[in-house]
Amino acid sequence: MPQILDGARVRDDIKAELKPRVAALAAAGRPPGLVVVLVGHNPASEIYVRNKIKACEDLGIYSETLRPPQSVTTGELLETIGQLNSRPEIDGILVQLPLPPQIDGKGVLQAVSPEKDVDGIHPCNAGRLVAGLPGPRACTPAGIIEILKRYQVPIAGRRAVVVGRSDIVGKPVALLLLHQHATVTICHSKTPDLAAVCREAEILVAAMGRPAMITGDFIRPGATVVDVGTTRVENREEIARIFRNSTEKLAVFDKRGGVLVDVHPLDVVEKAGAYTPVPGGVGPLTIAMLMVNTVASAERRCGRC
């Protein structure tokens, strides 16, 4: 059986390490402060934001959630971001994606002060990542590196393949792996013979967003497979096909109305040497690394770095 890389365990370790840092900041003057801007009522975003708020409460981080209406304009949102940039007690600003279609998303994200960009996606911070300079890193990619390190998965000198080239996951995780001295290939929808390229990977990161696209034919025996797992499948017949009519998974589907699938969940167990499960793998670390970025921002801004 392959080793399961338990993201929930790593998350709990990270939170335990953060608590004394938060307490020290509070004793020195104030706790770290995080504001989440949530536009409209996207159900998935609502759940994610609730989990962020709970993580802040657990650690003693001050948090606010601003909820502009779905009809908000780009100008109104930019005004809100400007106000948050000027508030000295706020160390982190996170604009929850996706934004409504009438919003200039890139303009809004770039309006966040780079020093308060705890999502690590501002162009200034992306540039610092490229240059190998200190700064907040995109949360999901940073969590991927964290789980590999804490499970002592060798990275230096290993062949890593990243499937997906998004600005939020694919590109930054490729750079982080490169900084850890892996030999990195980025694949995407136009990559010829994608399965053959993936089979070369000792570390395979799947962030393509196509359910069960990464099958056993893509996985090198014994490879470490990191499943970002953000694709929600809401078709019962598709779930039955992917999970080979598993009564357990069908019961989960019937209860929740959908299941997250990216890497083929049964093939990865048969072929990988280690893997991150869905749920419970990379997901918990995204919020944990958001907390890390928020605390680090507070320490920098309070002169305690």
> Which residues does the annotation mark as catalytic?
52, 96, 119
Range 25-42 burial, b when 16+ CB lie within 10 A, else e: beeeeebbbbbbbbbbeb
Structure tokens, 257: 């109305």
Alpha-carbon distance of 273 to 3, in angstroms, equals 6
Q: Are strands 232-233 and 259-260 parallel, antiparallel or unpaired?
A: antiparallel
Distance separating alpha carbons of residues 108 and 126, to the nearest angstrom: 16
User: Contact 263/229 with Cβ under 8 angstroms?
Assistant: yes
Best CA proximity match to 12, nearest among 142, 146, 137, 141 = 146
CA angle 53, 299, 305 (to 5 degrees): 145
Determine the distance from the C-alpha atom of residue 109 to the mean position of all C-alpha atoms in its chain, rounded to a whole number.
Answer: 17
Which amino acid appears at position 262 of this protein?
A: D
At 183, list the tokens. Answer: 């030999």
CB 121, CB 137: distance < 8 Å: no
Q: 3-class SS at 233?
A: strand
